[in-house]
Amino acid sequence: MTTKDSQFAKGDILTVTIDALATGGKALTRLEGMVIFMDKGIPGQTVEIKITKKKKRFAEAVLTKVISDAPDQITPRCSHFGVCGGCQWQNMEYSKQLEWKKRFVSDSLNRIAGAQDIKINDPIPSPETFFYRNKMEFAFGDKRGDKTVGLRRYGTHNVVDLHECYMQSERTMEMVNLVRDFVNAIPALTSYDANARRGYLRFLVIRETKHTNQCMVQIITGKDTTNGDQQHRAIRKLGHILQEQMNVTTFIHSLRTHTTQVAYGEKTIAVLGQKSLTEVLNFENGMPSLSLTSHADGFFQVNTDATARLYGTAIELAELTGTEKVWDLYCGVGGIALAAARNAADVFGMEITPQAIESANENATINNIDNVRFVSGDVRGALDNEPSKPDVVFVDPPRSGMNPEVIELIMERSPKRIIYVSCDPATQARDIALLSSQYTVTTVQPVDLFPQTAHIENIVRLDLTD
């Protein structure tokens, strides 16, 4: 075994103590003047690692064994923890999780945006730290001939056959167990093999509402290769069973032929029950509740009550008076736009997905809001064709952040205020660096939607520089 006093190389096994966590959740230690990034672990643990890559100034490694626990480590709730890739931090107190997430935000703004001496507010915690998710995507697998249903094994494409999970609801695991028993009773239903690129069962997606008692189950499969559509007919039977035994309000059978392992159906084969779900966001700051409808592939934040805190805080930071023209870029099903509309003169929302815009318009009708206008299409193209000049702009882009051309188009209109919501502090900081020629960061407010993981939502308010 290589010791700390010697040089090390790719393939070496080292014993180290974890010093800190890096943005995104990787653990790190410093050795021989280099930083070693590990795939997992928490500060204070002494661990055995294997070096997988060595560069001039840093190295990468995988954690192979925990030798001794961290002094403040706690016992994880789930027996699958450390094997399943769903949670990273169940062995860390929630207060410590929030401390590290705040540090991630601070590090990104300082290192990438060059924003020094900016106060980072303490993260707004999630109302619940377990059973908080409203959506889970499970994969089908195979283990010695038995079909499995679960999440990916940490760092691999293999499926951990889950028999407990504390991220969604207890009813979720009842449905997972029912689906597992059903598919194992029918030999014609085979699990998809990503390496061989064959097999039928691909994904099980379960979505639940927090406040309206609705549930959508989506089974995503490959093509039926049997005589008489035996596989498709079996899935339809499964849908009826889930409706009868688990009170599922929507069952969708979707087809995916692309080999990329993404839980997205390219074609709908069958729909039983309602075509969409309607959730209610209950705000804590006196704002009226908001009803939001979304379809099977529509984006909706996975933590309902924490989302109400996220959107409510974004609206508060905007300081709307009722006279402003507002833009909501990457508006999804219209959550922020509709919440803002009640305190603005008019709102213009943009989103690339036509189905999301369909839901956004439906949501405007449901909530009796008539001072909003939604457009589907690429944000760059939509902005090129939009003559209005906004006073306030909300942006909530995907993890990759905004395109530089979109940032230029925003700055050309010079809104007084930008409220930037992001699920990735690093790409957010990159975009803020581009905006800094005209805008000053005045508020940074993290909001935690993802307990037990390293992910954090962050809101930054930027004001037009005088």
The pLDDT score that the predictor gives to residue 22 is 92
Q: Is residue 3 over pLDDT 50? A: no
Q: Is residue 245 over pLDDT 50? A: yes
Average pLDDT of span 175-183: 98
For the record, the structure tokens of 238 come out as: 């499964």
DSSP E strand boundaries for 187-243: 201-208, 215-221
- Using N-to-C axis directions, what is the helix angle for 170-184 and 230-246, rounded to 10°? 150
Q: Distance between CA 138 and CA 161 in Å, rounded?
A: 10
Q: Distance between CA 367 and CA 283 in Å, rounded?
A: 15
Q: Write the DSSP symbol of residue 91.
A: T
In contact, 277 and 294? CB cutoff 8 Å = yes
Binding-site residue ranges: 301, 330, 351, 396
The pLDDT score that the predictor gives to residue 280 is 97
In contact, 17 and 45? CB cutoff 8 Å = yes
The pLDDT score that the predictor gives to residue 380 is 85
Confidence of residue 5 (pLDDT cuts 50, 70, 90): very low
In contact, 337 and 326? CB cutoff 8 Å = yes
Q: Distance between CA 240 and CA 248 in Å, rounded?
A: 9
Binding-site residue ranges for S-adenosyl-L-methionine: 301, 330, 351, 396
Average pLDDT of span 115-133: 95
The pLDDT score that the predictor gives to residue 95 is 97
Q: Is residue 4 over pLDDT 50? A: no
Q: What percent of the chain stands above pLDDT 90? A: 84
Average pLDDT of span 278-299: 90
Q: Distance between CA 409 and CA 392 in Å, rounded?
A: 14
The HSE-up count of residue 74 (CA atoms within 13 Å, CB side) is 14
Q: Distance between CA 185 and CA 180 in Å, rounded?
A: 9
Tell me which residue has tokens 């997972």: 176
The per-residue pLDDT of the chain, averaged, comes to: 94
In contact, 436 and 114? CB cutoff 8 Å = yes
Average pLDDT of span 259-277: 92
Q: Is residue 433 over pLDDT 60? A: yes
Q: Is residue 383 over pLDDT 90? A: no
Report in angstroms the alpha-carbon separations of 20 from 38, 91, 126, 150, 265: 10, 15, 23, 30, 40
Amino acid symbol at 92 = M
Q: What percent of the chain stands above pLDDT 70? A: 98
pTM above 0.85, yes or no: yes
For the record, the structure tokens of 276 come out as: 């969409």
Q: Is residue 297 over pLDDT 80? A: no
The torsion angles phi and psi of 459, rounded to 5 degrees, stand at: -110, 130
Residues marked active site are found at 423
The pLDDT score that the predictor gives to residue 23 is 85
The pLDDT score that the predictor gives to residue 2 is 44
Q: Distance between CA 329 and CA 123 in Å, rounded?
A: 24
In contact, 431 and 458? CB cutoff 8 Å = no
The pLDDT score that the predictor gives to residue 152 is 86
How would DSSP label each residue in 252-289?
EEEE--SSS--S--SEEEEEEE-S-EEEEE--SSSPPP
Q: Sheet harboring 250-255: ordered strands across?
A: 159-161, 146-152, 135-143, 201-208, 215-221, 250-255, 267-273
Q: Is residue 335 over pLDDT 60? A: yes
User: In the chain, what are the domains?
Assistant: 13-68 (2.40.50.140), 101-127+303-464 (3.40.50.150), 135-275 (2.40.50.1070)
Average pLDDT of span 92-98: 97
Confidence of residue 6 (pLDDT cuts 50, 70, 90): low
Q: Is residue 309 over pLDDT 50? A: yes
The torsion angles phi and psi of 408, rounded to 5 degrees, stand at: -60, -40
Who contacts 145 (Cβ-Cβ below 8 Å, separation ≥6)? Answer: none
3-state helix, strand, coil in the chain (%, to 5): 25, 30, 45
Q: Is residue 1 over pLDDT 60? A: no
Average pLDDT of span 346-371: 95
pLDDT tens for residues 278-287?
999 999 988 9
Q: Distance between CA 1 and CA 162 in Å, rounded?
A: 35
The pLDDT score that the predictor gives to residue 33 is 85
pLDDT tens for residues 38-88?
999 999 999 999 999 999 889 999 999 999 999 999 999 999 998 888 899
Q: Distance between CA 175 and CA 339 in Å, rounded?
A: 34
**C-alpha 422: how far from its chain's center?**
11
The residues pairing with 270 across neighbouring beta strands, listed in sequence order, are 253
Q: Is residue 412 over pLDDT 60? A: yes
Tell me which residue has tokens 């109302």: 127
Looking at per-residue pLDDT, the higher value among 25 and 452 belongs to 452
Q: Write the DSSP symbol of residue 376.
A: E
In degrees, to the nearest 5, what angle opens at C-alpha 240 toward C-alphas 146 and 207?
75
In contact, 13 and 1? CB cutoff 8 Å = yes
The pLDDT score that the predictor gives to residue 368 is 97
For the record, the structure tokens of 104 come out as: 């991630």
The torsion angles phi and psi of 460, rounded to 5 degrees, stand at: -120, 130
Q: Distance between CA 63 and CA 36 in Å, rounded?
A: 11
Centre a 10 Å sphere on the Cβ of residue 193 and count the other Cβ atoms it contains.
Answer: 11
Average pLDDT of span 204-213: 96
